[in-house]
């Protein structure tokens, strides 16, 4: 409600073309979603499936909107660091446009945000994105993951450290249906350790079908 009121008093402008009224106008959103992400989300090798066959992963399919650059990077940074809550709806639109037709028994599962980040922003950005996709696809969203720690991986210096941290990150909560199709969503894929740990937690709790969807793939220097 507050975000909508502020938008009336100080209208948003399209990050790409400057058009008044929204963070990304329809034309600019379509420009982003019309360009397929044709790389393995893990290693960056060219592929049409976002997963190449070199990796053993706890999820089947990966869906990615774009690399973390340009207006997509600005959108996510403003959502997470500048309290631009309207960016959650725009990020959800981009992510939902990238997804294929999903099985009717699909459950949207957002990666849980660290509690102190929620307190600082005043909202859980991943829950906002998850709810928006849930409404648009008419699928349930369930918060089936809990963090075991309140530590962010971004303090880790190397990919190896991030993977070790992620092993201790999540536990599954609530009832897991072995016949359901779980779609884990996150904002940024860096090394993949976080979302891999989340998928592993669901699989260990009984989930058989797990896919992932992320807004942006962050390029990193592997150590």
Range 2-5, long-range pairs (CB < 8 A, 24+ positions): 2/85, 3/85, 3/86
Q: What is the pTM of this model?
A: 0.88
End-to-end Cα distance, the chain: 44
Say whether pLDDT at 160 is over 90: no
Query: Which ranges constitute the DSSP H helices of the chain?
Result: 2-9, 26-33, 70-81, 86-98, 115-121, 125-137, 159-166, 193-204
Classify residue 222 as exposed, middle or buried by CB count within 10 Å of its CB (0-12, 13-18, 19+): exposed
pLDDT score at 154: 47
Distance, CA of 214 to CA of 192 (rounded, Å):
10
> Average pLDDT of 173-185?
96
> Average pLDDT of 39-49?
89
Cβ atoms within 10 Å of 101's Cβ, excluding its own: 7
| pLDDT category of residue 148 using cuts at 50, 70 and 90 | confident
pLDDT score at 32: 96
Tens digits of per-residue pLDDT, 194-210?
A: 999 999 999 999 999 99
Phi, psi for 46 (deg, rounded to 5): -60, 135
Percent of the chain scored above 90 by pLDDT?
75
Q: Is 122 left (phi over 0), alpha (psi -120 to 50) or beta?
A: left
């Amino acid at each position: 409600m507050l975000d909508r009121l502020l938008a009336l008093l100080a209208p948003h402008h399209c990050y790409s073309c400057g058009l008044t009224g929204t963070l990304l106008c329809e034309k600019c959103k379509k420009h982003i979603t019309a360009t397929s992400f044709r790389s393995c989300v893990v290693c960056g090798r060219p592929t049409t499936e976002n997963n190449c066959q070199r990796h053993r992963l706890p999820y089947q399919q990966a869906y990615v909107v774009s690399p973390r650059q340009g207006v997509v990077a600005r959108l996510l940074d403003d959502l997470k660091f500048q309290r631009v809550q309207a960016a959650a709806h725009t990020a959800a639109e981009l992510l939902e446009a990238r997804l294929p037709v999903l099985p009717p028994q699909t459950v949207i599962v957002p990666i849980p945000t660290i509690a102190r980040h929620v307190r600082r922003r005043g909202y859980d950005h991943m829950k906002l994105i998850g709810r928006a996709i849930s409404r648009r696809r008419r699928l349930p969203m369930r918060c089936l993951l809990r963090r075991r720690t309140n530590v962010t991986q971004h303090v880790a210096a190397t990919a190896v450290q991030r993977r070790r941290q992620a092993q201790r990150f999540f536990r599954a909560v609530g009832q897991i249906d072995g016949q359901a199709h779980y779609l884990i969503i996150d904002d940024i894929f860096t090394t993949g350790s976080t979302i891999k740990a989340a998928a592993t937690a669901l699989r260990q709790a009984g989930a058989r079908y797990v896919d992932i969807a992320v807004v942006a793939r962050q390029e990193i220097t592997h150590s």
